[in-house]
Every structure is written in structure tokens, then in C-alpha cells.
Structure 1
Amino acid sequence: MTVKIKDVTDYLESIAPRSYQESYDNAGLITGNSSWTVTGILVTLDCVEAVIEEAITSQCNLIVAHHPIVFRGLKKLNGNNYVERTVIKAIKHDIAIYAIHTNLDNVHMGVNRKICEKIGLKNLKILQPKKDTLSKLVTFIPTQHAEAVLGALHQAGAGQIGNYKNCSFRTEGTGTFMPNESASPHIGEANQQEFVKEVRAEVIFPTHLEGKLLQALRSVHPYEEVAYYSSILSNENQEVGSGMTGELETPVEPLAFLQGLKISMDLQVIRHTKIKSGPVKKVAVCGGSGSFLLPQAIQSGADMFITADFKYHEFFDADGRITIADIGHYESEVFTKELLQDVLMKKFSTFAIIFSKTVTNPISYL
């Protein structure tokens, strides 16, 4: 069975929809054609020239990277910097580059969950849930067809609220309509007023699934003209957002926790603030640059905040209320390669899915 690049990217976007990426980001297919047949996949944190060479050697024509090689528009392709050289080499050798960046950061099973798993955290919750990513669908169904229609909507992704699925709200009422001569009604006859027992059904769904839900609704609903309306909700989506919190099984003294963190995350160094007194029980994490989440980490009651790229003056903002542990950008996200490999191997088995061996960390320590 041949697998196209589109098959892989569609699967990845079913897990981490591109609509969840931040406004500054550039996730998606950066080079290559979605109709190409996949010969192999190389997963990496960063896509640089050495990674392209690794893909060529490994006969992989698709690179799945966390960080996009192109963040801003390229005006020239002269090979004057590493971005241009990487893109040129990929195009020259027919290698597709796909980036799955802040959309993978923002989903519950993504980058931050991987960090939590590495350091043994339980009871995981999104630190800063996103708004405006949920919608509500309201439709009207003949009573005897309600279960079939709602079943199709649930199958398409509606009605999932946290740990509960197949959620809906239903009220019974009477629907009225009069078909004209051009109609082919499921119930009633032309030019006759009809009164039908109906269920008004309401379900919540991730906004990006609206097209899929409407297709399911129309395919199962018995009416020729389906009455429905959808609206975007301002509710926080507890399954989507920035950062994550979790708890240790047993509280640990701060120094012992930091020493364990160095081992579990394979760190050479940790930059941290003055250590907050008392044992570490609750921990906040954010892969990559997470200083913007410090207020939320403090508000959550976390004892420790693990992230990267804090500036000098930002460390003062901890103000004794939390211990900031800056472990480095690369170090906080390097295990994303394992996450991507695991996710892809569950779905695809007809070609190689290779873990990149190239160390792309631009920072060295003496």
C-alpha cells in the first residue's frame, strides 16, 4: 500500500490541527508536494543542512520537524544563509519538509505532556487554555431519528468534554413546515402544513471539525433541508493551550528534584532562581520559550516552573513565589523527536520512520 505525503500530514493534523498554531508560526508543508509517495520519514527537532544530508543518506523523502525552517517569507534563494541553503538542498533532492510546531505545543498529548512524562508528573492539566477553539451545533431532528443523527455527530468528533464523550443536550418540541411543489419531503406532502415531534439537540465540538460534522449531519439526517446553526464559543478549551501542570507522586526536596531533572532531561546545566522553600509537589512546564507563562505558573500554585529562554530581568519576576528552572530551549524540546516517532509508528508501517541522529543544538557549554 502506497502512502502519500498528504496521508501523513492529514494524520498529524488530526492530532495537532494547524488551526491551533500561534499567529506568528509557520507550521505545515514547507517544501515538497503533498501528492508524492513517501519513501521514508526522518523526524527531527530542527531541519538544517545536516538533517537534509541525513535524509538523503537514509532515503527518506519526508522530514517531519518540530521547528519550521522558514518562519518569515523568503525574498531570495541565493544560499546566503543556512535557511536558504537548507531549502535549496531540500528542493534539489525532492525532499519534503513538514513542520508541526506550536500546534503540537498546544495539544494535550503534545510537547508539554512529553516533558511531564519524562519527569514523572501525574494529574496533567493545560496551564493556559485557549479560547475561541470550540463551537456549538444546534440541530432539529425527528424524534425517531435522534439517536442515529447524534451517533453520527459523536462519531465525527462532537460531544467530547474532558474525560466525557457523547455529550449532548436535548429538548423535545414540535417542528412545523410546509413543503412546496419542488420539494421531496421525507415527511408530509406539498402545500400541507406539517407538525412533527422533533428533538432540539445541542453538541459542543472543536471548531476545526465543523466541515466534518456538517457532512455527517447531512448524510444521516432524514430531512431534505436540514435546519441547524453553529456558533463559536468563548469557553476555554481545557484540552488545548500553552504549558501544562502536573503533580509528583511524592513531594521531593527542591535540590533533589533539580538533580533528578538533570538526569531525566539529560541536562548539562540548569539556570534557576533562588529556590523556594518547602518540598516540590506541583510543577508547571512549557517546552521552548515559556517566560510569558510565569504569571499563570504562579497562579496555578506550582512550586517549580520548567521552561527555557528566560531573560535576566525576567528571573526577578519569580519574586520568591516560585522557582524558575531554565533548562534550555533545545533541551526542553529534544524529546519531541521521540513523540513524533511514536505517533507516526502507530499509524504507518510500510516504510521506515527514522529518528534523526543529528544534534541541532546551536548552543554549546564548557
Structure 2
Amino acid sequence: MLIQDVINAIEEIAPLAYAEDFDNVGLLIGDKNEKVTGVLVSLDTLEAVVDEAIEKNYNLIVSFHPIIFSGLKKLTGKNYVERVALKAIKNNIAIYAPHTALDNSFVGVNAKICDVLGLQNKQVLIPQKNTIKKLTTFVPTESVAKVREAIFNAGGGSIGNYDQCSFNIQGTGTFRGNENSNPVIGEKGKIQFEEETQIGITYAKHLESKILKALFNSHPYEEVAYEITTLENTNQHIGIGMIGELENAQNPIDFLKFVKERMQTGCVRHSELTDKKIKKVAVLGGSGAFAIPNAIMAGADIYITGDVKYHDFYKAENKIIIADIGHYETEQYTKNLLVEYLTKKFTNFAVVLSVCNTNPVKYL
């Protein structure tokens, strides 16, 4: 197996097309065509993590956070980022980071938090915009089934719990080829009237190259007529944060104690408690103060995230409880998610959880 095979597997659940614009995701160090000797999974890539990979003779680190976030102008080892990069390169160790691509995945970071807390009826808190595309193409009637099936097989036509979705309109197309054309139907220089079907199919934006390849390979015409539009429709399977429900409502103190125990945090900072029982819970791994208004609008009783500043707690305004359990603590189970997923995908090499605790925050 090659490093690229592991990358392909990760990007099945966390396509890089859905990473935030500010992020630096993907293969950051290494050769994607190297054979995999083992995969070490960590939340961050520190020198100790690279040392662990060296000791285990693993040549791929899958780190949730990217070790290289902004541009590097020098590699002299003056800080931990440069030292990690140098050590990884010297020891032929690749580093891959999914970060916000996995944040925005329906089965990613926030889904894992929901699972740990036992939340049901999960929904995306802030759906990402412009993730749904629509392909419209025009196909001679006798080739419609072939073209439509090829696009379906490439992943087009899936809407929520349904697949093979399309809309088809019968009509008459016209075309005339010039002297350099090689028409499949009709003759060059003569206008051709052809019974055609207009096919409309939606697809996820990260599939665009596969969809177009399927269209071109299956369509009989020398020149394929098609249109692509970006839809405003809300995609409830791509986006940041999640909201779910507890099976049984709990009073705030009991639930906060439950969160502290399940999320293994040394401290829970929270806004003033409300009198309302906790039933609807919003979560966002990492730094999530920006989504407090979204959690309130979604009707959540409590919002669990990290890195909440002093003045952000005022935004609760007795409408919601804001609970800051720590950046690392909200994301820590992402490592387990990746190990479990990759272990099921690959059985011919080891996928191991790093023993290094990379949390820079300590509690007395």
C-alpha cells in the first residue's frame, strides 16, 4: 500500500474541497508514492510524535492539526515547527493533516463529540455554503441510459437518503459541424435535428472532476454540451459544528459533570446556568466562540466548545449555557475516530494511536 492509498481513504470521509480557505490541509511533508510501513495518528505533530514514529518504524503521521500552517521561509530548526519538519524529512516520514476538512465532515470531529456524549438526531450546526452543484447536459435519446448511469456511478444524483436522482426533459437539439468536425450523428456542413434528452443531476462539489470524466467518457458526441451551476440549497451533510439531543433531559449541573467526565477535561468554564433542563446540545470542536449565535438560533440549551474569551460568555444572555471545556479536550477523540476508520480500511499494516499527549494546556 502507498501513502496515497491512505490519503484516498481519509479523503473519502473528509474531502479537502470542504476545508476552510484559511487552512493548510493535505500532505504537508513526504512522498505520496512511498510504500506505507505504518501509520501513527496524533492530534498534533510535535518532535516527540516524530520520535515515536521513528522508534516504531512508521513512515506516515496522520495529524489532525497541520504542523505547517503559514508559510516557512527558512528551515533552520529555530522553533518547534521547523524542527519537526527537518526531523520528518531527514527520516523520510510523511505528515498528512485533514484539519477543517474533517471538522466539516458529517462523520468527523463534531460527530465524534456527539457520539461520546450520546447525542441523537445529529444535524450540522452551520452548513457550508456552495457545496451542491448541478450538471445539465443534452444527450441523444438512445444514449440517455448509458450517460445517466455513468454519472450515477461517479456519485452524482445523491440527495439526502436518495440516490440516482435526475430530471429528464425530451426535446430537439440542432447542430452543424464545420469542415474540421467529425460528427457521430449527421454530416459535416449540414444542420442536424436530433431527438435529445436534457438531463439535470446534482452532485457534491468535490466530485466534479469524476462527474465530468464520466460524462465525457459515456457521451457519444464529439463536442459535449453541458452546463454547471452552483446551488444555494442548504447541504445538511457538510458544515461546521453539530446539534443533537439527549435521550433524557438533565439538569444543567448534572449534565456539566457528565460532560467533564466523558470528555476527560480538567476544567469546565461556563456561563450562568439557566433554569431550563438540558435536552438540545450544540457542539463545535476547537475554537468555537464565533458560533454562539448559531447555537442560540438553533434552539440549543447548551453549547460546548473551546477557547471562549471573557466577553464571549456575555453572549449567552440567559438564552443558552456556554461551556468551554478546552480546545484539546473537544478534539481529542478525533484521533480515535481516525484510528478506528483506518484500521477497518487497512489490515496489511499497523494504524496506531500516538501515546504522546500533545495538549499544551495543563491544569493544577
Bin the TM-score by the shorter chain. over 0.9
The one-letter amino acid of 2:50's match is I
Which segment is superposed worse, 60-69 or 129-138? 129-138
| 1:363 partnered with 2:358 | no
Matches of 2:353 and 2:213 in 1, distance apart?
A: 38
Q: What do residues 29-85 of structure 1 show as CA deviations (whole Å, max 9, x unaligned)?
A: 111111211111000001001100110111110000000111111222222221111
Matches of 2:144 and 2:112 in 1, distance apart?
A: 40
Q: What do residues 3-25 of structure 1 show as CA deviations (whole Å, max 9, x unaligned)?
A: 11122212222321212111221
The one-letter amino acid of 2:304's match is I
CA contact (8 A) 2:343 2:351 kept: yes
The offset of 1:297, in angstroms, is: 0.3
Which residue pairs with 1:70 in the alignment?
Answer: 68
Matches of 2:180 and 2:94 in 1, distance apart?
A: 51
Give matches, 1:206-217, under 5 Å. 206-217=204-215
Query: Which of 281, 286, 289 in structure 2 is aligned with 1:283?
Result: 281
Give matches, 1:1-366, under 5 Å. 3-180=1-178, 182-366=180-364
Matches of 1:144 and 1:262 in 2, distance apart?
A: 62
The offset of 1:155, in angstroms, is: 1.4
The offset of 1:176, in angstroms, is: 1.7
Matches of 1:141 and 1:276 in 2, distance apart?
A: 60
Instruction: State the superposition RMSD in angstroms.
Output: 1.5
The one-letter amino acid of 1:158's match is G
The offset of 1:148, in angstroms, is: 2.0
The offset of 1:182, in angstroms, is: 4.4
Matches of 1:341 and 1:237 in 2, distance apart?
A: 27
The one-letter amino acid of 2:264's match is D
The one-letter amino acid of 2:266's match is Q
The offset of 1:180, in angstroms, is: 4.5
Matches of 2:292 and 2:158 in 1, distance apart?
A: 30
The one-letter amino acid of 1:176's match is T
Secondary structure of 1:123's aligned partner: strand
Which segment is superposed worse, 213-222 or 342-351? 342-351
* Equivalenced residues, count: 364
The offset of 1:136, in angstroms, is: 1.2
CA contact (8 A) 2:133 2:231 kept: yes
Q: Structure 2: where are the runs of 5+ without partners?
A: none
Matches of 2:162 and 2:278 in 1, distance apart?
A: 31
The offset of 1:350, in angstroms, is: 1.3
Matches of 2:174 and 2:148 in 1, distance apart?
A: 21
Matches of 2:164 and 2:125 in 1, distance apart?
A: 25
The one-letter amino acid of 2:115's match is E
CA contact (8 A) 2:17 2:205 kept: no
The one-letter amino acid of 2:322's match is I
The one-letter amino acid of 1:159's match is G
Which segment is superposed worse, 183-192 or 284-293? 183-192
Secondary structure of 1:324's aligned partner: strand
Matches of 2:273 and 2:339 in 1, distance apart?
A: 36
List, as ranges, runs of 4+ consecutive aligned residues in structure 1 with deviation greater than 4 Å: none
Q: What do residues 186-208 of structure 1 show as CA deviations (whole Å, max 9, x unaligned)?
A: 33334443322211111111222
Matches of 2:141 and 2:344 in 1, distance apart?
A: 40
Q: What do residues 195-251 of structure 1 show as CA deviations (whole Å, max 9, x unaligned)?
A: 222111111112222111111011111222211111222333221111111111222
Q: What do residues 107-127 of structure 1 show as CA deviations (whole Å, max 9, x unaligned)?
A: 111100000011111111111
Matches of 2:276 and 2:247 in 1, distance apart?
A: 16
The offset of 1:27, in angstroms, is: 0.8
CA contact (8 A) 2:37 2:59 kept: yes
The one-letter amino acid of 1:101's match is H
The offset of 1:323, in angstroms, is: 0.5
Matches of 1:147 and 1:290 in 2, distance apart?
A: 47
- Percent identity at matched positions? 51
